[in-house]
Chains A and B, each alone.
Chain A
């Protein structure tokens, strides 16, 4: 059970193709997954999939998951998994206390031998904009730029939108705080962020707020709005509707306190469902053989998402396994190294990786080829500003969030 972005037909059919086991996958929004799993479905469901802010309710506030020892995941090898996951405190030390929150949700034990919430996909969310009307956007602050008054959109999910605002406020020295506070703000910081948003809303800054994925796509593709905090698949869907959309290469701001919104989605065996139904091994097979295999990275990059095992180039770039072919050099280099496509691309803001004919042979990047939005993955990692979690002051946050939604 999981949301559409983590539970696509291709993943389900690949698992069945590899194992001859029928996977009964049901799609639900993250709140619905939480409701169902915590409301009794944990007895009858083998696995659930959510993202890190939704996972807090299931794997931290409750024990709806079964921790997965890395020894059960053959393809999880510290050397071949991004240090974003193997060593988050060191790789993301510039995030202060936020780096520890990655470890907290990722690992069940201090020895890091059991995964609390095994990652399968992740991304670095950014600002999306229509280049017909916006020359360039590189900061969350751009959403609040007066020149886009009445033309920007912003999400209605408090745990995501508030940290975006905090990055803007902290970086511009409008409030006190440090980088480590951004994903786990104090009540005073929550008040400041929500007050700011209410002020912006009342001043007519937002054409609309968006609650569902499709809403953000409609607002941008219909040119109701020209800039907003989009998901990358939404930006690609805007392009598929024929409206140009650029997914920003983010910068870190004047005080280095802005940057990408990092989150990961994962799959956990359900406690006690997977154990009592004797399907734990099948769930680990789904994680390891399908999601950590050669085929999945290319499949999911079609929506802009990356995989934890991308450093395993022998498998992901040029290799293959039982799940299928890896990405091939052109697609891999475009997705992870920031290299241009081998063919010319006339309008980068309309480029669709699912439609492009990727070469499986080594080749030369074209002078006027397309570069992946946001560029090289290591540069994206260097510019993370925020890791998405469910904060400690969530109850207060939700209470006060009503002020924004009803403004």
Chain B
């Protein structure tokens, strides 16, 4: 681009700045994303093609991080398992989060619903590590649940499957992410025109039919956003698999290990890029099905 062309674009014939309002408003955001998202991602991508040798990264191009690490059976299997966990957790969180949002929308006042929703955020005043570790004295062999059950005579040996099991992981994820599912669904439900619900009732629609044909379809944008949050946060979560699984790795913990044990930056970068691609595909597929712009338009 020549200097004169750039000048022509920036200034009009009178020499006044010709950048429109939209560009001015969007500019800072674009710069922010370029500096703090695209540039770091470019560095990560670059590192994924570098050579690793005994604690050192050598500036030589190679595909080894992909061919030897990412496409190894172990990492592919871990990636599949991680995606599976993300989907299952999203589904379970939806099962618990939707009724919660529904209750807050239709069985409490507007202010009451928002207030109760905000209560779900209170646990986030502490760190994620503490929230996760907090389950150990509750679910452990000498934890509260086992002690109560033993004292009540319901069991005589502690239940070992409460902790370091799929149960403890689901509880950990659910506690962390239910608010990310419930909040967008609540917003979607709040934007439903009540006349539509009345119309369904007037047309002799049962509560179930009204829910199925009116409420649910109109709340799908909120469901989609909730699923996006939950899925993305789950497959990138580090504390739950580290502290509640008993030693089952996900792709995030493998990335951590690659850096933490041997400084294998190229392998970590390559796995990060694949994780990013998985997230992108999920979000793309999700939003091809559901138009979330309805929330914004409302």
Binding site for B on A (CB under 8 A): 29, 31, 34-35, 38, 57, 61-62, 150, 156-158, 201, 206-209, 211, 215, 218, 222-224, 394-395, 398-399, 401-403, 405-407
Contacts and interface: CB of A to CB of B under 8 A. Distances in A.
Contacts of B247: 156, 201, 206, 208-209, 405
29 contacts: A31-B260, A31-B263, A35-B263, A57-B54, A57-B263, A61-B56, A62-B55, A150-B160, A156-B257, A206-B247, A209-B246, A222-B140, A222-B141, A223-B142, A224-B140, A394-B54, A395-B53, A398-B258, A398-B262, A399-B69, A402-B78, A402-B254, A403-B74, A405-B249, A405-B257, A406-B74, A406-B75, A406-B77, A406-B249
Q: By CB atoms of chain B within 10 A, which of A61, A157, A207, A402 has the most?
A: A402
A399 B261 contact: no
B248 interface: yes
A401 to B, nearest CB: 7
A-B pairs with the 3 shortest C-beta distances?
A209-B247, A208-B246, A406-B249
Interface size class of B (residues with CB under 8 A): 35 or more
B261 A158 contact: yes
B273 interface: no
Contacts of B143: 222
Contact of B261 (A38, A62, A398, A406): A398
Given A399-B72, A405-B253, A406-B248, A224 B263 contact: no
B78 A406 contact: yes
A150 B258 CA distance: 27
Interface in B55-84: 55-56, 68-69, 72, 74-75, 77-78, 81
B291 to A, nearest CB: 38
A242 B247 CA distance: 26
A130 to B, nearest CB: 12
Nearest to A398: B262
B233 interface: no
Contact of B164 (A57, A61, A224, A407): A224
B136 A222 contact: yes
Given A402-B254, A403-B74, 19 more contacts: A38-B55, A150-B160, A206-B247, A207-B160, A207-B164, A207-B246, A208-B246, A222-B136, A222-B137, A224-B140, A224-B164, A395-B54, A398-B258, A398-B261, A399-B69, A401-B261, A402-B78, A406-B74, A406-B78
Interface in B28-49: none
Contact of A395 (B52, B254, B259): B52
A96 to B, nearest CB: 24
Interface in B221-249: 242-243, 246-249
A401 B68 CA distance: 13
B118 to A, nearest CB: 32
A396 B220 CA distance: 48
A402 B259 CA distance: 13
A206 B140 CA distance: 15
Nearest to A62: B55
Given A38-B55, A211-B242, A31 B259 contact: yes
B141 A224 contact: yes
B163 interface: yes
A402 B250 CA distance: 10
Contacts of B75: 402, 406
B65 to A, nearest CB: 11
Given A61-B56, A218-B136, A222-B142, A157 B261 contact: yes
A403 B257 CA distance: 12
Nearest to A392: B54
Nearest to B55: A57
A211 to B, nearest CB: 7
Interface string B133-161: 00011001111000000000000000010
B105 interface: no
A157 to B, nearest CB: 7
Contacts of B249: 402, 405-406
Nearest to B73: A403
A57 B243 CA distance: 28
A224 B163 contact: yes
Contacts of A406: 74-75, 77-78, 81, 248-249, 254
Nearest to B256: A211
Nearest to B244: A208
Contacts of B246: 206-209
A158 B264 CA distance: 14
A218 B134 CA distance: 12
Contacts of B261: 31, 157-158, 398, 401
